[in-house]
Amino acid sequence: MKYTILLSFLLIITSCKKSEESKKTNEESIEQVQVRLKKSGLPLQTSVSFLSKLIQANDKTYLAYELNVLNNFKASLDLRKVEIFNLLEPELPIAIFDSIYINENFDRPGLSNENDLNLISANQFGILNLNLEFKESNTIPKKIFHKLHFKVQKGNGESMMYPMETTIINIPDKTNLTLGLPFNKKGKWLYEAEGHKNSRFLAEGRPTYPQRFAIDWIFVNNNEEFSKNNTKENKNWHTYGLELISVADGIVIDVKDGMIENEPLSEEMAVRITRETIGGNYVIIDIGNDIYAFYGHLIPNSLKVNIGDKVEKGQVIGLLGNSGNSDLPHLHFHLESKSDIFFGGEGIPYHIKEFTQLKDYSAEEVSSLFHNNHVPLDSLRPIEKSNELPIGYGLIEIK
C-alpha cells in the first residue's frame, strides 16, 4: 500500500514538472518568434489604441481594434496592404486587408485631400479600423502581429514595396455582456449597424469611437412597409412613438429634451447638427461596470426619466422619434465606456440574448427599401440566434 502511495506521489510530481516545462517551452517559443520579427529601417511608429472584446455574429467570431500609424519619415508612404499573422504560426497570414479596405477604413484626421487616404505624408498619421473575422473558435490565436506593406517613392522616381513587421497584440476574451433589446415591441425590425463604426469624435484631445457597435432600429409591419400613407409625416411611421426601455438596471446620468424633429427623408435637418445636437433628444443610463447606454432621436417632451433617476431593466424611459441627426424615425442605441464628455467614450461590444435573423442587406438595398417604403417578406430565411450581435444591415424578428 505504501509503495502505491509513493508511486502516485512521484507521478504527480513528474506530471507537474512536465506541465511547467511545457509552459516554459511555450513562453520561450513566443519570445523566439518575437525576436524573428524583421526590424524595419523606416522611422514609423505603430500602436493599438483600442482593442475590443471578441463578439459573436453570423456564427463567426470578430475582433475590432484600431491600428495607429505615424510616419516620421521624410518621404511619403503609401499603405497598400496589411497582413495579420498568428505569432506562433507565422508562415501564412490569417487575414489580409487590401488597399480598397484601407481606403474605406483609414481615418486621416486633418487630411483635406480625401481621394488618397492611403498616402501618409511626413509627420502625418492615420487610424486604421480593423475587423478580424474568425470562422472557427478553435482557429483563434493567442497572439498576432502585423505586416504592413508600403509603396515608397525612391529618389530616381522609381517606387518599391517595403514590408514592415510590427505590433504584437494579445487576443482578448469573448465579451460576457448579454442584454435584451432597448424596446418592447415584438415583430420585425430593420437594423443598420455598419454605418457608425468609423464615426470619430475628439474627447479631451484624443480620438474616440463611441458608436463603434451602434445600431439603428426601424420597425416594419406585416404589410411590408415602414409607413402608412404620407412618408413625409413622422406620425405615419410605424416606428414612431414606440416605447423605449432600459436594457439593464441603472442610473440616468444625462438627458436632452425639447429639440424639434425632422421631416422624414428630407435633405435638411430641423436644427444645425453639432456635437450637442447630433443625438437629438436622448437618454444616457449608467448600467454599471463603467458602461453607459445611449438612446438617441427621441420625441421631444416624451422622456419619462430625469438625471439622477434610478431605473430598472424593462422600465419605459421615452418614446422613439426623429430628432437630431436623423433622416427618419428610428432609435439609435449603443454602449460606450464611461466618460465625462458627451460621446467621449469608446464603443463597447455586447450580445443580444435572443432574436431571429431573417435577411441580410447591402447599404444600397436598405436605402432603396426606405425610399420605396417597401420591405418584401416573401424571401426570408429565419435563423434563430442567441448571444450574438447583429452586424452589417439586415432584418430580424423579435418574438
Instruction: Please tell me the predicted confidence (pLDDT) of residue 202.
Output: 75
Picking from 280, 287, 383, the residue whose alpha carbon sits closest to that of residue 326 is: 280
What pTM does this model have? 0.86
d(CA 319, CA 328): 14
d(CA 296, CA 182): 11
CA angle 252, 282, 269 (to 5 degrees): 170
**Spatial contact of 102 and 128, defined as CB atoms under 8 Å apart:** yes
Counting beta carbons within 10 angstroms of the beta carbon of residue 287, is it exposed (0 to 12), middle (13 to 18) or buried (19 or more)? buried
**Spatial contact of 288 and 272, defined as CB atoms under 8 Å apart:** no
d(CA 22, CA 196): 44
Picking from 35, 34, 104, 109, the residue whose alpha carbon sits closest to that of residue 69 is: 109
d(CA 268, CA 256): 21
Q: Any long-range contacts for 29-38 (C-beta under 8 Å, 24+ apart)?
A: 29/88, 30/87, 30/88, 30/143, 33/87, 33/88, 33/90, 34/87, 34/168, 36/90, 37/145, 37/165, 37/166, 37/168, 38/163, 38/164, 38/165
Render each residue's pLDDT in the chain as its tens digit; 399 residues: 444 444 444 444 444 444 454 444 444 444 444 446 777 677 889 999 899 999 999 889 999 999 999 998 888 899 999 999 999 999 999 999 999 999 989 988 777 666 678 889 888 889 999 999 998 877 899 999 999 999 987 767 778 898 999 999 999 999 999 999 999 999 999 999 987 877 888 776 778 889 999 999 999 999 999 999 899 999 999 999 999 999 999 999 999 999 999 999 998 999 999 989 999 999 999 999 999 999 999 999 999 999 999 999 999 999 999 999 999 999 999 999 999 889 999 999 999 999 999 999 999 999 999 989 999 999 899 999 999 999 999 999 999
**Spatial contact of 151 and 75, defined as CB atoms under 8 Å apart:** no
Distance of CA 332 to the CA centre of its chain: 14
The 8-class DSSP code of residue 115 comes to T
Which residue shows C-alpha cell 508562415?
Answer: 91
CB neighbours (10 Å) of residue 265?
Answer: 13
d(CA 55, CA 197): 14
Q: Which amino acid is at 68?
A: N
What are the structural domains, with CATH classification, of the chain? 44-170 (2.60.40), 178-398 (2.70.70.10)
Instruction: Please tell me the predicted confidence (pLDDT) of residue 240.
Output: 98
Q: Any long-range contacts for 233-238 (C-beta under 8 Å, 24+ apart)?
A: 233/264, 234/261, 234/263, 234/264, 234/321, 234/322, 234/329, 237/264, 237/322, 237/328, 237/329
Report strand pairing: 55-57 vs 291-298.
unpaired
Phi, psi of 18 (to 5 degrees): -65, -40
Read off the C-alpha cell for 356. Answer: 431571429
End-to-end CA distance of the chain: 63
d(CA 299, CA 144): 46
Picking from 110, 107, 102, 105, the residue whose alpha carbon sits closest to that of residue 149 is: 102
Q: Which amino acid is at 151?
A: K
